[in-house]
Structure 1
Amino acid sequence: LYFLLDFLVYTSRGMTPSNQFKVHGQLPLFGMTIRESEEEWGVPHSFTLFGQRQSVVVAASCASEMERWVEDIRMAIDLAEQSSSPNNDLLSTSPSDNKLSEDGGGDQESEEELGGSRSSLERQGHRGNTTVHVCWHRNTSVSMVDFSVAVENQLSGNLLRKFKNSNGWQKLWVVFTNFSLFFYKSHQDDYPLASLPLLGYSVTVPAESENIHKDYVFKLHFKSHVYYFRSESEYTFERRVFHLSSVHLLS
């Protein structure tokens, strides 16, 4: 689902050469109502959006995401109705012909550029991932509040990243912004070596059983992806963990 001006647009992504999102329909926010539909449809975390001419049943991946979706949609409805009149400028008379290009190009997530050997962060031609691209693959959502908090929690500085297959550590300049970590060799570089989209990730401290015999280390993990990062002081460690924890990461 996308919010575009005074409309809610629902899309899907097919196996097309361009990997674009295909628009299936749109609902004006003006006059829209919402009703929980779990009992009616027997689908967990589902709710129905009633537009002026049609209705759509959707389902979130969990209860917390459903609450955030409903809250944001109701807020958008209120704002649309305060604009005095409905907006009738539809995308097209044939929504199925419309496509939204929000893809980073390809299905592999760039976190894979972090895995492997010492040279894994020295690849050229880095490709970033849009937030939409990451949300699609990880089956998660980003709310208005998430975006607001993310803007307030940007951070940059030196960080050490543990090599996956050895006990060595690589010092990098790391920028945390737009729900991602961007890795540079130094603060003077114009382009990142790699990026790690963090939506869906958890940030924790390694357990003793993980044999990370260093101070000021935190772990980022999502499914089978696990990364260890080390700060150079207690102060920078606490700042990193605080900022990462402040943004919606847990799916």
Structure 2
Amino acid sequence: MFFLFSDMLLYTSKGVTATNQFKVHGQLPLHGMIVEESENEWSVPHCFTIYSAQRTIVVAASSKVEMGKWIEDLNFAIDMAKKSQEKSTVFIDSQLCDRSNRSSDEVSLEQESEDDMNSSRTSLDKQTHHRANTTMHVCWHRNTSVSMSDHCQAVENQLSGYLLRKFKNSNGWQKLWVVFTNFCLFFYKTHQDDFPLASLPLLGYTVSTPDESDGIHKEYVFKLQFKSHVYFFRAESEYTFERWMEVIKSAASTTGRMTLLIPKGGTGPMEINGNGI
């Protein structure tokens, strides 16, 4: 599984420990990195090559759209990392000129502040437990990627309101206060509750109107499905129905896995998912 950060690209695999963490197999700094499409070279659909100072890897996306998202995000991150480094170099040079004029007390205080920061960072590193339905775990289990544009859409598309929910094999409808945020539906008994009864990550789900075979003869109903998991939701009006369909479509995705094909100097092929951050 790939993780794209502001200064590096990590590739990992799912851990087998109780902490449910990911094991890092390699990290590629963005400085000096080059990304090129390479479908013609390798005769593999939707593949591209990542050149870094440490090694070269070839990855293949599940679709043309998926590949485009990764190449766009990688090139943007590479460009921003380059600009950030140039600004940092200028800033450091100016700081070195000013440092000779500082008193020893100022240096001492600066060192103390840095020690506090390191201590805080160590404390954060000890927090190893993660919720099982975080975006990265959902990306792994459902073989999906999340791009920067997906994150921007998620911020712009948030919604809450009462909906009637029905499971595939149930008869009755349950009225719930539903909150959609961060690619996930959260279900509450009422809008006054502090904690949700349950949550449903929507990455990988499809949203549509019910089929004739579903036997749903109600208005303003939409259907959520991922493999054999099926849910029906009924809105109170045409407007709220269309709004829920709109925001859920911004999170539901069928984009799939990334495959690491050729790690130079590596041990062979391996499969990983992609998560652009």
Q: TM-score range by the shorter chain?
A: 0.7 to 0.9
Match 1:145 to one of 146, 149, 153: 149
CA distance in 1, matches of 2:145, 2:126: 20
- Could you tell me how far 1:156 is from its partner in structure 2? 0.3
CA distance in 2, matches of 1:165, 1:144: 37
Residue number in structure 2 paired with 1:112: none
- Could you tell me how far 1:39 is from its partner in structure 2? 4.0
| CA radius of gyration, larger in | 2
Relative distance call for 1:197 and 1:172 in structure 2 (3 A) is: same
CA distance in 1, matches of 2:19, 2:11: 18
**1:177-216 → structure 2 map (5 Å cutoff):** 177-216=181-220
**1:230-241 → structure 2 map (5 Å cutoff):** 230-241=234-245
2:233 aligned partner, one-letter code: F
2:68 aligned partner, one-letter code: E
CA distance in 2, matches of 1:68, 1:100: 31
Given the alignment of the two structures, is residue 136 of structure 1 paired with residue 140 of structure 2, yes or no? Answer: yes
| Per-residue CA distance 1:80-103 (angstroms, 9 max, x = gap) | 11124499xxxxxxxxxx999585
| Per-residue CA distance 1:100-132 (angstroms, 9 max, x = gap) | 958534xxxxxxxxxxxxxxxxxxxxxxx1000
- Could you tell me how far 1:34 is from its partner in structure 2? 1.1
Given the alignment of the two structures, is residue 165 of structure 1 paired with residue 166 of structure 2, yes or no? Answer: no
CA distance in 2, matches of 1:186, 1:100: 32
- Could you tell me how far 1:222 is from its partner in structure 2? 1.3
CA distance in 2, matches of 1:201, 1:100: 30
- Could you tell me how far 1:7 is from its partner in structure 2? 1.0
- Could you tell me how far 1:171 is from its partner in structure 2? 0.1
Residue number in structure 2 paired with 1:92: none
More helix by share: 2
Aligned 8 A contact 1:11 1:22 in 2: yes
CA distance in 1, matches of 2:58, 2:175: 48
| Per-residue CA distance 1:182-241 (angstroms, 9 max, x = gap) | 001011111111111111111111122321011110001111111110011112111111
Q: Higher relative contact order by CA 8 Å / sep ≥ 6: 1 or 2?
A: 2
Relative distance call for 1:100 and 1:56 in structure 2 (3 A) is: farther
Match 2:131 to one of 97, 101, 104: 104
Relative distance call for 1:103 and 1:139 in structure 2 (3 A) is: farther
**1:1-251 → structure 2 map (5 Å cutoff):** 1-85=2-86, 103-105=130-132, 129-251=133-255
| Per-residue CA distance 1:124-163 (angstroms, 9 max, x = gap) | xxxxx10000000111100000000100100000000014
CA distance in 2, matches of 1:228, 1:102: 32
- Could you tell me how far 1:70 is from its partner in structure 2? 0.7
Deviates further, 45-54 or 195-204: 45-54
Aligned 8 A contact 1:154 1:176 in 2: yes
CA distance in 1, matches of 2:43, 2:13: 22
- What is the TM-score when the length of structure 1 is the normalising length? 0.80
CA distance in 1, matches of 2:41, 2:129: 33
Unaligned runs of 5+ in 2: 89-124, 256-277
CA distance in 2, matches of 1:163, 1:9: 39
Report the 3-state secondary structure (helix = DSSP H, G, I; strand = E; otherwise coil) of the residue aligned with 1:74: helix
2:181 aligned partner, one-letter code: T
Aligned 8 A contact 1:102 1:130 in 2: no
1:149 aligned partner, one-letter code: Q
Report the 3-state secondary structure (helix = DSSP H, G, I; strand = E; otherwise coil) of the residue aligned with 2:180: strand
Aligned 8 A contact 1:146 1:248 in 2: no
Relative distance call for 1:37 and 1:14 in structure 2 (3 A) is: farther
1:176 aligned partner, one-letter code: F
CA distance in 1, matches of 2:25, 2:211: 47
RMSD, matched Cα: 2.3
- What is the TM-score when the length of structure 2 is the normalising length? 0.72
CA distance in 2, matches of 1:201, 1:101: 28
Relative distance call for 1:85 and 1:8 in structure 2 (3 A) is: farther
1:143 aligned partner, one-letter code: S
